[in-house]
Amino acid sequence: MTSHREHAARGWLPWVLVLISVIPVAAGVFRVSQLIAGADITPENARFFAAPVPVVLHVVSAVVLCLVGAFQFAPGFRRRRLAWHRKAGRVLTVCGLAAGGTGLWMTVFYPHVPGDSEALHGMRLLFGSAMVASFALGFMAIREGDIARHGAWMTRGYAIGMGAGTQALVHLPWLLVSGMPDELGRTLLMGAGWLINLAVAEWSIRTRPSSPLSYRQPPVATPDPVSSV
C-alpha cells in the first residue's frame, strides 16, 4: 500500500515535470515564433527555414507531450478522470510518435549542428528510435489490455521525450563553473540527460503500486455438463 508520504510525492510529480519542461518549451516556442515572424536567417537557424514543417511539428507535439503528459503521472487525477486519462493517452501517443519521428527526421536530413559530435549524432538516432519504439509498444500493450506493460513503455517514452528539460538542467552548473562545454563535454551532458531520465523512469516503474493486468472482463463460467446432469 502506498504511504501518505509517497502519495503526496506523486501528487507533486506533475508540477515538477511541468517545471522541468519550462526551458525546452520556451525554446521551442521561440523557435516557431522566429519562423512565423520571418526572423533573420543565421547559420544556427538556416536549416529550420529551409524545411520548417518538421521542426514545427516537433515543437508542437513535444510541448503537448511534456505538459499534458505530466498529468498522466498523478494517480488520484487518473482515478477521478479515467475517461480523460484514456482520451489524453491517445493524443499523447500520437504526439510521442510525432515528436520522436520528426526528431529522427531532423537528425538524418538537417545539416549537423556546429559543435555536435558524431557520437551525439548517434545518440540522437538511438534515443529517438527508442522513444518511437516505446510509444508504439505502449500502444500495442493497451490494445492487448496489459495495463502494467502499457504504463511501463509510456513512462519510458515520456522520459526520453523529457530529455531536453534534464539536459538544460545538467548544462546549467557546467556553464556556471566552466563556461560553454566543448564537443566532448556537450556529448556527455546530452547523454547524461537521457540516461538520468531513463534511470528515474525505471525506478518509478519498479516501485509504483501494482495495477490490474487487464481491462478485459473475466470469462463467463459455463456449467460443467457432467455436474449438471
Look at residue 12 in the predicted model and tell me its pLDDT: 84
Global pTM reads 0.85
Sign of the CA dihedral running 154, 112, 123, 31: negative
pLDDT at 226 over 70: no
pLDDT at 219 over 50: no
Look at residue 228 in the predicted model and tell me its pLDDT: 33
Whether residue 74 contacts residue 84, with contact meaning beta carbons closer than 8 Å, is answered with: no
pLDDT at 150 over 70: yes
Whether residue 154 contacts residue 138, with contact meaning beta carbons closer than 8 Å, is answered with: yes
For the residues 142-153, what does the mean pLDDT come to? Answer: 95
For the residues 141-162, what does the mean pLDDT come to? Answer: 96
pLDDT at 8 over 70: no
